[in-house]
Homo-oligomer: A and B are copies of this chain.
Amino acid sequence: MVSQDALVVFTPSGRRGRFAVGTSVLQAARSLGVDIDSVCGGRGLCGRCQVVLTEGEFAKHGVHSCASNLSGHSENEHAWEKTHGTLSDGRRLSCSTTVLGDVVIDVPADSQVHRQIVRKRAEVRDIELDPAVRLYYVEVQQPDMHLPSSDLRRLKEALDFDWRLTNLQADVRVMQELQSALRKGDWKVTVAVIDGERIIAVWPGLREKVYGMAVDVGSTTIAAHLCDMQTGEVVASAGRMNPQIRFGEDLMSRVSYVMMKPGGDHEMTHEVRVALNGLAAELAAEAGIGVTEILEATFVGNPIMHHLLFGINPVELGGAPFALATDEAVTGLWATEIELHIHPNARIYALPCIAGHVGADTAGAILSETPYLTDAMTLIVDVGTNAEIVLGNRKRLLAASSPTGPAFEGAQISCGQRAAPGAIERVRIDPATLEPRFKVIGCELWSDEPGFADATAATGITGVCGSGIIEVMAEMYLAGVIDQDGVIDGALAARSQRVQANGRTFAYTLFESEARTLQITQNDVRAIQLAKAALYAGIRLLMDKLGVAHVERISLAGAFGSHIDVKYAMVLGLIPDCPLEHVASVGNSAGTGARIALLNRSRREEIEGVVRRVDKIETAVEPSFQQYFVDAMAIPHKCDPFPNLRAVVELPAAAASERAAAGGRSRRGRRERPLTEGAGT
């Protein structure tokens, strides 16, 4: 006689239990706490609960798992296949398949509610999908005059009964749509619930998709990703210039605009919001959805961008003591409050700002890089007009901002330009001949390879972008064109046409054509030295505060950080010595932080808690900053030895220029002041 119950083993969880024959696979899974997704609540409508039978003999479990131990294709499955296409690879709808005998059932990743979203870099945590906004399909009792109860109450009863969602709140905006949705859907509706607490949307019938957008509001660029909140997948990405640029290129000039023009903050708030609406529309169009399918948006941005986005006048951030209006996360805010036209009842979440110079973008980078989870002394550097620096590990985290100025972005550099086709991005200099070769954006060839001229004819060779500037200067140093103090060696003019007098100093010619000459002048080198010294001094200060002599892991973040060759950054001394294999370009980690917060609500609490424990250092007022700055003007550094770097790169000897450096330093000391005393945006 056949036993009346069956052993069901779920993989990969390994959970197992005995169930009466005829139990649905979904029921079995739920009673064992196995993570299987469902929007329709087991009605065979949504197809999210797919599983695969694993056939074979499983001695370990004592199970002979075979197809005949599951019910055959059900009506639900046939119906589902008619609208969604045939179930692939032996997949079954677990809600509509019953257990007839012992089976091993695999729950594929895409059927799990809390599936892992794998990130490309092995060293960072994958994102477990657990969005704040979730969909629930319910069938609601019709009203009965004899038992009067509002439509909302009956909806909530259904959500409680089917989904164990209790004590739900509902927005008035939902109540405005509720009655027509229920009747249009013949009492079947899908609701969106945020944080398991509040109904924020209702649609007639079954709705399977809901989207969220993660936005990084940068001073220069606004970048946004549209995510499918059921799969975690990025379905569209877009970026555009921050239109506030017309009020000022950098942050300080925008704050100045507000100071000088009453209402200027409102103008800038309006501009960024208009741009966000444009981005939302662009993302939706790219994904082939309507903007009203976007139920949540998460934001990161530096303090001034953050404050302007939320309509807070940033004027206090323009001068000491740089007081933030708020350093809390913005939670549960209606998107309409920032005039963002996605779903009319969508919500906003913004990561917390950390200090007057260290914003929600840094919080995002911390969330993405999770230095607070490791013992390794980790440095995160986000280089933009300002450099944000985070240093620490699970024991303690410090954060600071260093006023690097815009040199790394190509501003203040005679041949500098934004990263765009035609810009030189890679450079090598032959130490013997001093002849350069280079690559430009938009062309895969090096300049000394055949076909380069033709390949770049269309774009021309127009300037040098940030990463190119780092490389050309580092190569100039490695080739002996500049010494440790950054002085271009005029004596080389005798040896090479590339080095030429330029007034009282010298310049190195990187490229020359009829159209233009791209030279690295002494002033260009000085600008980069000032910027990198500010960055390095800030890092050094944090190392000091933590009492550490070296760092074990470095993440270079931001647009600049993602294109830079970390070796050259270290040769120039932008960052401290560290094993090169532990230095990574991590891209827009601030934006990644916004995406993590979008896809996993518990990570919001996590970063809010971490940010509270971050110690903020105001570098500009630290007495030792000046000395660190002066020492960091040398390439790579006046006194730090850089043993890891020297193990892979042969650095020129420093001794020769010691005396000259001493003289140069005091002159530079005077020049540096305006930078370090500036408002430090």
Contact = CB atoms under 8 A, between A and B. Distances in A.
A323 interface: yes
Interface in A151-196: 151-153, 170, 172-173, 175-176, 178-180
Interface stretch (A123-131, A312-320, A433-441): A312-320
Given A176-B310, A311-B176, A149 B326 contact: no
A575 interface: no
A315 B149 CA distance: 16
A489 interface: no
B327 A152 contact: yes
A618 interface: yes
Contacts of A311: 172, 176
A538 to B, nearest CB: 15
A330 B172 contact: yes
Identical chains in the assembly: 2
B146 A326 contact: no
A356 interface: yes
Contact of A152 (B150, B180, B320, B328): B328
B326 A170 contact: yes
Given A179-B313, A179-B316, A310-B176, A143 B321 contact: yes
Give the interface SS of chain A, mostly helix, strand, loop or mixed.
Answer: loop
A144 interface: yes
Contacts of A175: 310, 312, 325-326
A316 B177 CA distance: 12
A337 B174 CA distance: 13
Contacts of A144: 321
A326 B618 contact: no
A322 interface: yes
Interface string A605-648: 00000000000101001000000000000000000000000000
Nearest to A620: B145
A236 interface: no
A325 B355 contact: no
B146 A618 contact: yes
Contacts of A621: 145-146
Contact of A148 (B148, B326, B337, B356): B356
A149 B358 CA distance: 12
Given A143-B321, A172-B337, 19 more contacts: A142-B321, A143-B322, A145-B356, A146-B621, A148-B321, A148-B323, A148-B327, A148-B356, A148-B616, A148-B618, A150-B328, A151-B323, A153-B326, A153-B328, A172-B311, A176-B310, A176-B311, A179-B316, A180-B313
Q: Which 3 A-B pairs have the closest CB atoms?
A: A143-B323, A150-B327, A148-B355
Interface of A: 142-146, 148-153, 170, 172-173, 175-176, 178-180, 310-313, 315-316, 320-328, 330, 333, 337, 353-356, 616, 618, 621
